[in-house]
Structure 1
Amino acid sequence: MSEQQTGIPQQVDPLVVRVLAPNPSPFTYTGTQTHLIGTTDLAVIDPGPDTPEHIDAIVAAAAGRPISAIVITHTHRDHSPGSRPLAERTGAPIVGCAPLVLSDTGPRLEAGFDVDYVPDRILADGESVSGEGWTLTAVHTPGHTSNHLCFALPEAGALFTGDHVMGWSTSVVAPPDGDMADYMASLERLMARDDRVYYPAHGDPVESPRRLVRGMMGHRKQREGQILRLLREEARTIPALVERMYAGLDERLFPAAGRSVLAHLVDLRNRGIVAETGDVWSYA
């Protein structure tokens, strides 16, 4: 895939154009990718942050064609706030995931929850929104967030994976809303599908979906194994685990890594494998 430029429409499939938002960061990679679906009337998936230049770029990419649905995978602030100005500009309804109001004081301040998100229609698992020549069907994939949806586009054999599966990194699973057991179950669900390609919100299209998902599941199992080996040696705090597990990691990402380790620990605790005393975790 050729290098993507902010605000420039890029055709990735006869039915799919992507537009990159100007919000690069250690968590968003090159930025949030908004996808426009269709050829006559359009759906817009994840219009991204409320950035006027990005909303202008989406409208320009539509090139006068009507936008009939604004579709949201989840309500982190790098995905859904742009839905409101885009709806005001186009009159399109906002559809997709349920609202989620949760105070998140964690390390991803730019990806905290969009508390002002109000959809016109919530799509349950298996429900669809459609236009001329396209259908988007919701696939409930909790884990990264409890309200996360992927969207299948059967006309292209494609799945829009939001942040559940990304094209550059594994997803952050951060308690209290992020749940490792749910995340792994959602990956298992994707393994059972036969999608030809994934279009994530961050990173390039994934052209070997099952291979990537299998690798992601193996990576999480490896992290779990690391935690258990370290706790068998001695009880440790989360920062001590992160220091041992993430050698060479950008220090700006240490807090997020700590949340991911916490997600594993909560899952292991719920399975009766580890225990916590204050901020110290031990092998049960």
Structure 2
Amino acid sequence: MIPFVRELEFEYGRCDEVSPRIRRVIARNPGPFTYTGTGVYIIGQGEVAVIDPGPDQEEHFEALKAVLAGERVTHVLVTHHHLDHSPLAHPLAQAFGAKVYGLPAPAPHASDAPALEEGGDDRFRPDVILADGDVLSGPGWTLEAITTPGHTSNHVCFALKEENALFSGDHIMGWSTTVITPPDGDMGDYFASLEKVKARGFQTLWPTHGAPVREVGPFIDAYVAHRRAREAQIVEALAAGFTTIKAMVPSLYAAVDPRLHPAAAHSVLAHMLQLVREGRVAATGDGLDAEYRLA
């Protein structure tokens, strides 16, 4: 079982000091994929970085401008291009004379994926494209970009050196598992990125949605174990004679509301594509309509 952390004390638009170098403002965009809303992190005092400015809502923008009044924003950082993370990045940067840092949105894919997310801003382009290991700094703070593809191909986390903490975006969230939707989401990349983060030994994870994760190693282990258990169930379904994803989903997700089965099918697809790459499964056809069997 994943030891989810779901308790969070907050008020929309309020600025909370959550550590000596970190403040947080939560946007009023709660939902099934955003939990209580987008948590915007402000790093430092006086000369600051802002991580994931969030949705382009007037109320939220005004709250951020009020909090940042009198300070110099030197960096606006974006973990990925989804609409609950990136739209306010350029307006905020323009208001404070800063630049936007991150990775550009991938090219749009033709996909029959259901609306699992808040959606993506396919036009998102940062002013500065980051590479893995790039370091950004200000008075009293140092941030390192850590590329973590999986949830999206352009996902980046940011490590705060002075507190051995990681701003984990949607890569790891305390309140829920992360959605992996092909073709941009990739299960193999996701497993590798989880191991990459675990190897760093961070003391705290600060997800964009929800509360911080303090027991980082055991939490990531549980995250991985959950995915591996689902993978094992898929292999068992194939061994039992199921050959299509649509046929196996009602059995694999028997305890889940059937209205969520289309979303579950894409999660199974992410696992199946990785099993095919590993040579453990053979496919005839593509995607959800393919037939699969154990290799």
What residue ranges of structure 1 are gaps of 5+ in the alignment?
Answer: none
Partner of 1:72: 78
Partner of 1:281: 292
The structure with higher relative contact order (CA 8 Å, sep 6+) is 2
Partner of 2:212: 205
1:110, CA displacement in angstroms? 4.9
Partner of 1:90: 96
Match of 1:156 among 163, 175, 181: 163
Q: How does 1:102-251 map to 2 (within 5 A)?
A: 102-103=108-109, 105-108=112-115, 110-251=117-258
Partner of 1:268: 275
Partner of 2:46: 40
In structure 2, relative to structure 1, the CA distance for the partners of 1:121 and 1:283 (3 Å cut) is: same
The separation in 2 between residues aligned to 1:185 and 1:32, in whole angstroms, is 25
Alignment of 1:5 onto 2:11: yes
* 8 Å Cα contact 1:172-1:256 kept in structure 2: no
Deviations 1:56-111 (A, max 9, x none): 12222224211111101111111111112212221211012233232355223653
SS of residue paired to 1:111: coil
* 8 Å Cα contact 1:98-1:123 kept in structure 2: no
Deviations 1:98-152 (A, max 9, x none): 3323235522365332122121111100001111111111011111111111100
1:256, CA displacement in angstroms? 2.6
The separation in 2 between residues aligned to 1:246 and 1:10, in whole angstroms, is 39
CA RMSD of aligned residues (A): 1.7
The amino acid that maps onto 1:166 is M
The percentage of counterpart residues that share the same residue type is: 49
* 8 Å Cα contact 1:191-1:213 kept in structure 2: yes
* 8 Å Cα contact 1:43-1:70 kept in structure 2: yes
SS of residue paired to 2:56: coil
TM-score for the superposition, normalised by structure 1? 0.94
Partner of 2:28: 22
SS of residue paired to 2:17: strand
The separation in 2 between residues aligned to 1:122 and 1:9, in whole angstroms, is 29
1:235, CA displacement in angstroms? 2.2
The separation in 2 between residues aligned to 1:86 and 1:73, in whole angstroms, is 15
In structure 2, relative to structure 1, the CA distance for the partners of 1:173 and 1:198 (3 Å cut) is: same
Moved more, 101-110 or 74-83: 101-110
* 8 Å Cα contact 1:94-1:120 kept in structure 2: yes
The amino acid that maps onto 2:261 is F
Partner of 2:4: none
SS of residue paired to 1:150: strand
TM-score for the superposition, normalised by structure 2? 0.91
In structure 2, relative to structure 1, the CA distance for the partners of 1:252 and 1:85 (3 Å cut) is: farther
SS of residue paired to 1:211: helix
What residue ranges of structure 2 are gaps of 5+ in the alignment?
Answer: 1-6
The separation in 1 between residues aligned to 2:225 and 2:64, in whole angstroms, is 37
* 8 Å Cα contact 1:26-1:253 kept in structure 2: no
In structure 2, relative to structure 1, the CA distance for the partners of 1:141 and 1:71 (3 Å cut) is: same
1:281, CA displacement in angstroms? 2.5
